[in-house]
Amino acid sequence: MNIKDKFVAFNSNEIIDNEKNNQRDTQDNLYGDNFVKEEVVNQKNTKQKNVSQKKTRFEDFSSDKSFDSVYREESFGDGVYLDYSATTPCDPSVVDVMSQSYKIFANPHSITHMYGWNATDLVESSRAKFASIIGAESKEIVFTSGATEANNLALKGVISNRRRNGLENPHIITTNIEHKATLETCHTLEKQGVEVTYLEVEKKTGLLDIEKLKKSIKSNTVIISISWVNSEIGVIQPIEEIGNICEEKNIYFHIDAAQALGRIDVDVKKCKATMVSFSAHKFYGPKGIGALYIKKRTRVDSIIDGGKQERGVRSGTISPQLCLGLAKAAEFSTKDLESENIRMKEMQDYLLSNLNNSISDIFINGDMNSRIPHNVNISFACVEGESLMMKMEKYAMSSASACSSQTLQPSYVLSAIGVDEDLIHTSLRMVMGRYTTMEDMKNFTNDLIESVNFLRNISPLWDMKKKGIDLKTVEWHDHH
């Protein structure tokens, strides 16, 4: 069916809102996990449009279009993208289904006409599709603008509800390497009188000590908030163990899974989460859309005043196209996950093996066993990270140097795991993704080795280090 025919089929659908008309008896099929695709019977009388069967909007727009060399060339040109933790390119299959849906233009919260019903159908089928991918129920998904808003809603919404119901001094537990969306939210809540414990992760590994977590729990502990995968060093926290503790202690468990979906298997029920945050642009979807899983019977206050959309939890008009893009991206990014991770591990091993055989004084940041294979964070002694990035300008990476940070501060994550400040400024984060090839990694490895050696050859610090001088003992004098 071509695009025009799809929209003709949509315009012949008159879908009655379930809350307004009890005749909508096939609603379960439409929003269910199976996404049963039914045929639309076109009526001869165009003045009376009656629907005997309905289509699922998500499946109407499904596409098997895959990433190809043309898209790769147009997207990356001569460069190589190795910054997949910052964002991911929107996959062509996602762009395809979104672009096909733009004639579904109505407000999905308009429930008095068929245009609004069509938009609602697209939103709800996307919601159900995404829920099925992460092991949730459709009604447990709240669409947001991204993981930052989801984190804010999870923490502020729960604390607001508990305070409104009489708890005067709620307590939050998190770690000192969380994303700023969590840390800054906690700082704001602290200013409002909320007690927050920032657990220090283990040095070198970046992993949370479960025993420390247990000891930090208090009688007034309301919620524990942990990132599943750290965006800088790629370590995977022991989420299931934390979930068991929270269940035993009757404490809400919030997970920031922005870096998890599409890289590891995500099952919100298995990890016993109360709330989980997601962001579509982290798994090959569009920017501006995310989701918060909220377990049934979890009490969360809205933090945005307005029309009380999303079952009163999140006000604001939802974009059907963005919801569709999020669901399609989740489907794409979790397809062939096991084989994709094997491919990532092969490239990671190739990089690290060749670096270790060719360059001395390099340090891998973060635990090597409990981490995603996509991420490599390395410090190169006596090589400033910014200079290395400039030398390798065709490769898109991120640096932990102060000059690359909008806050003009070295990486707080690397500081938290015990990396010396001098080494922090020599650190690079390389994160591979679905469109990284082994050829890319071979070229990158060769260029990286050549660049590090070049910069060290012109570095007086490297000369001093080779002579056995401990750079920490050198007294540097300012010249005025």
Q: Which residues are 195's β-sheet partners?
A: 171
271 is catalytic: no
Q: Number of C-alpha atoms within 13 angstroms, CB side, residue 211? A: 1
Q: Number of C-alpha atoms within 13 angstroms, CB side, residue 245? A: 23
- Eight-class DSSP state of 252: E
| Closest by CA position to 272, among listed 250, 290, 288 | 250
Residue with tokens 């007086």: 460
116-125: b (≥16 Cβ within 10 Å) or e: bbbbbbbbbb
Q: Which residues are 221's β-sheet partners?
A: 171
229-265: b (≥16 Cβ within 10 Å) or e: bbbbbbbbbbbeebbebbeeeebbbbbbbbbbbbbbe
Whole-angstrom Cα distance, residue 230 to residue 414? 11
Greatest CA separation for the chain? 91
Read out DSSP for 279-341? EGGGTTS-TT-EEEEE-TT-----SS-SS-TGGGTS-S---HHHHHHHHHHHHHHHTTHHHHH
- Residue of 186, 246, 323, 403 marked catalytic: 403
Whole-angstrom Cα distance, residue 118 to residue 105? 9
**Known catalytic residues?**
403
